[in-house]
Chain A
Amino acid sequence: MSVVFFVLTAMTLAGALAAVLLKNLVHCALSLTVAFAGLALLFLELDAQFVAFVQILVYVGAVAILVVFAILLTRSAETPKAGGVFSRTWLAGLSVAAAVFAVLGWAVLESTPWLPQTTEAPAADVGQIGEALMSRYVLPLEIVALLLTAALIGAVIVAMHEKDGAQ
């Protein structure tokens, strides 16, 4: 735990909080990007280069852009009127969020030994990650690949359908 860690954590948390609290949707999306970048830097701090770069490439480079696109294409980026931001089903939302948090917290508590590790951090270079993905985790990888392909085809079909309808 170093100064860098705390700075990065503060940055990530600030970004995430701003993403929830700001009124202007585009500002929210941009602060979400700050949170993503902070996470990536945290990974880098933990010597997980590959994950960090992929985090930037995928989240900052693609997901953030998608979010922004979605905001711009679906509704105007105007600031909503006061009082209009709260959903009526906030109770359900809160319970879902609490449940997710609980599961995550449980997983973290279960898996991590609650004592500082004294062994040397395992060096996870790209080659090892690749080998793991292609041997031990090949089934999940393939399932994810299948899922993504299905999503891709689905998106194409939706787009084609719209075009037919327009004609």
Chain B
Amino acid sequence: MLEKADQVFVLLLHWLVGYLPAAWRPASGVLLCVVAIIAVYPTLFALAVLLERKGLGRMQNRYGPNRVGPFGILQPVADGIKSLTKEDIVPFNADALVHFIAPLMLVVAVFMGFAVLPMGRNMVLVDLDASLLFFFAMGASTELSVFMAGWSSRNKYSLLGAMRAVAQMISYEVPLLLSTVGVVMITGSLSLVDIVDAQNRYTWGLAHWNVFKPWGLAGFAMFVIASMAETNRSPFDLPEGESEIVAGYFTEYSGFKFALFFLGEYVGMFGIAGLGTSLFLGGWSSPLAVLSWVPSWIWFFSKVMVWICFFIWVRGTMPRLRQDQLMNFAWKFVLPMTLLNLLVAAEWRFVADMWLRWIAGMVIVVGAYVLMGRVGMRREHFGPRTYRYAE
């Protein structure tokens, strides 16, 4: 019975596909999975937006939306109807074609990433050999659509936002990639399915999640930071800093295209949360051996939702960074930490002694953290400000 519950979606798929002629089965199976992904994540998106608005409200001692439906739970529906029925305005000077393609490209690239995420036992659309790389490749192509959106709008705020976004994404992509390399080194595979399988083992009832190891912990922390920056989440939301540049690269978008950007941003967040979950938090595996009877997909989605809640929590807590702080943080703290973490991972791989590798790993990670926090992040003291006025 529990076995059935665990595999309910897989069985459902087989059952549905079973009605079709044999020749059509593979293609229609893939199609059904795609439809499922396209249906599930926007629903989660609506849920996340609601959670975000309510949660942020509560953190600021407000109620949050509570008018549409009981406790405001229908707010996303109202938002959706509103954005779908709004007029689609394209600026007169805009590059109409590029302006049109940009949001589509973003959403497509973002959704492509889910193809390789294992969302449960046997629940992965394509089990690629290099699925981690595929995910990052898709993530990298969102940058271009951001640039296209900003450039084609012919608006200085859009362009500034796009430049900020691209600079930030490029800077944080390096630590994001490097923070995952440790996992790849230890697991010896770029396939997310293998990585999750490797973590689905238990010692004394406790799972072998990567985050429970020194290199995993450091990698996890750096991954979280870099993923916030990659998805333009607060405190790294300079590209859409509304107090400075209106809405950044999607200033000139309205109606459905704006909704697409919004969707893309959140779905990208789910993607990166799912990736982080698979890499460090054991994907669909349960933390304790005694809880293994809970269906795997429940584990995966609840981990993703916890991750999203953490993002919301951070957003409610931290103010926005300044551009120079952002870059300093990326290049002087996150990047060196991830590089050092490679060393720790190598040490973990090659030191056989159980205790020695734990102690050495912890010492390097904690020592580097403290040292780099002291030295690298020393506050710069600016002199008295001078202003030059435009002539």
Judge whether B129 is part of the interface by a CB distance below 8 angstroms: yes
In the complex, which of the residues B130, B148, B173, B190 contacts A61, with contact meaning CB atoms closer than 8 Å?
Answer: B173
A30 touches B130 (CB 8 A): no
Interface size class of A (residues with CB under 8 A): 20 to 34
* A60-B134 Cα distance, complex, nearest whole Å: 13
B141 touches A53 (CB 8 A): no
Contact with B along A54-71 (1 / 0, CB 8 A): 101100111011001100
B140 touches A54 (CB 8 A): no
Q: Which of B138-153 contact A (CB under 8 A)?
A: 138-141, 143-144, 147-148, 151
The total number of A-B Cβ pairs within 8 Å is 68
B144 touches A56 (CB 8 A): no
In the complex, which of the residues A60, A72, A77 contacts B144, with contact meaning CB atoms closer than 8 Å?
Answer: A60
Most B C-beta atoms less than 10 A away, residue of A30, A40, A62, A64: A30
Judge whether A12 is part of the interface by a CB distance below 8 angstroms: no
Q: Which of chain A's residues have a CB closer than 8 A to the CB of B138?
A: 56
Judge whether B34 is part of the interface by a CB distance below 8 angstroms: no
A126 touches B190 (CB 8 A): yes
Judge whether B84 is part of the interface by a CB distance below 8 angstroms: no
Q: Which of chain B's residues have a CB closer than 8 A to the CB of A57?
A: 133, 136-137, 140
Nearest CB on A from B247, distance (A):
20
B144 touches A33 (CB 8 A): yes
Nearest CB on B from A151, distance (A):
15
Judge whether A49 is part of the interface by a CB distance below 8 angstroms: yes
Contact with B along A35-63 (1 / 0, CB 8 A): 00100100000000110011011001110
Most A C-beta atoms less than 10 A away, residue of B130, B143, B170: B130
Q: Smallest CB-CB separation from A60: which chain B residue?
A: B141
Q: Which of A89-147 contact B (CB under 8 A)?
A: 125-127
Q: Which of chain A's residues have a CB closer than 8 A to the CB of B289?
A: none
11 extra interface residue pairs, beta carbon distance < 8 Å, beyond A37-B141, A61-B140: A49-B130, A49-B134, A53-B136, A53-B137, A57-B133, A60-B144, A62-B170, A65-B147, A65-B166, A125-B129, A126-B189
